[in-house]
Amino acid sequence: MVEGFAHVVAVEGGVAWLEPEQTSSCGSCASSSACGAKGIGTTASRLEARRFKLDNYAGLVVGERVVVGIRENALVKASLTAYAIPLAAMLGAGAMAQWAAGSDGITMAAMVAGLVLGLGIARLSAGRLSSRGDLAPRFLRRANVGVVCKIN
């Protein structure tokens, strides 16, 4: 299980809305003074855009800091779905157009069309993953005050 910290920002009935605390991929979360990437990932709007909801079985209240997790292979599955499928479709279309026509303009148009087609396939595939619950974060436990991720 891949773990991360999040803050509860709203509770609506049986659903809790959380904002992820981690602001960069280096895992420095609360050690923001040591993070060179903090300027590009910490704006309020960016965190708000990444807000997510959980079923509030644990009785979470606004302001609580919790540990949430996703399955080990979920990140790999998600990145393959979002990026590998459109890339494969795009390169496949480009290779066929180059083989058939051999012109830069036609190849470029075919690659753009392949990219759009690939994004459509990725959308269907992501919908299937979401409906199986493979991409949803889960509540694991409440975080102790002062606990931060280790930088190593």
**Binding-site ranges for another protein (CB under 8 A):** 2, 20, 22-27, 36-37, 40-41, 46, 49-50, 52, 70, 72-76, 78-84, 86-87, 90-91, 94-95, 98, 104, 107-108, 111, 115, 119, 122-123, 126-127, 129-130, 135-137, 152
What is the radius of gyration, based on Cα positions, of the chain? 20
CA 2 to chain centroid, in Å, comes to 13
For residue 11, the minimal CB distance to another protein (Å) is 19
One-letter amino acid at 67 equals V
- In the sheet that holds 15-20, the strands lie side by side as 52-55, 15-20, 2-12, 65-70, 138-142
For residue 119, the minimal CB distance to another protein (Å) is 6
For residue 49, the minimal CB distance to another protein (Å) is 7
In the complex with another protein, which residue's Cβ is closer, 15 or 59? 15
Q: What is the distance in angstroms between the CA of the first residue and the CA of the last residue of the chain?
A: 18
Phi and psi for 12 in degrees, rounded to 5?
A: -125, 100
For residue 81, the minimal CB distance to another protein (Å) is 7
